[in-house]
Amino acid sequence: MPAYVGSIAVLQWVQAAATTTYNTDFRSITYAPSVALVDETAGADANKLYLAAQKDGKLDFKGVYQSTGTTNWFAANEGNVGTLLFSPEGTAAGKQKFTIPAISMGGNLNVPYDGVVELSISWQQNGARTEGTN
């Protein structure tokens, strides 16, 4: 599989009120799926054994905060519920796309006195992720 540059990634946060696009000024997008494990070790087992239980995930965004970025800030207020559309290879036909129901955990602003202001947002997966293509 050929490598690709991350700058073509597209991230959208879809809510009833509006769709907000976060990829234009992003620095990093990290999607980390996970699974809960149930310990099934018993008796004379010499090694730990586990069962896979519920799936989970978290998506973190970090980007440059623009002076007109209040729309991006308010859309990600903590507790907002919606759907993330994440296309790590861009939106060309046939490219990978994740659809992730999520709850916004809120935004954080990093305001250094001598550097660019950054916005970071975390979303908690809230249901089953769907994998497909654009």
Tell me the CATH number at 40: 2.40.30.200
Number of domains in the chain: 1
Residue 47 within a domain = yes
Return the pLDDT at 7: 86
Closest by CA position to 83, among listed 10, 13, 9, 1: 13
* pLDDT tens digits for range 86-99: 999 999 999 999 99
Is pLDDT of 112 > 90? yes
For range 21-44, the mean pLDDT: 93
Residue 1 within a domain = no
Return the pLDDT at 76: 87
Residue 65 within a domain = yes
| Percent share of the chain, pLDDT over 70 | 97
Residue 83 within a domain = yes
| Cα–Cα dist 89/23, whole Å | 12
Residue 61 within a domain = yes
Return the pLDDT at 13: 95
Return the pLDDT at 42: 96
For residues 93 and 16, the model is more confident at 93
* pLDDT tens digits for range 51-108: 999 999 999 999 998 776 677 778 889 999 999 999 999 999 999 999 999 999 999 9
Range of the domain at 52: 6-133
Residue 120 within a domain = yes
Rounded to two decimals, the pTM is 0.90
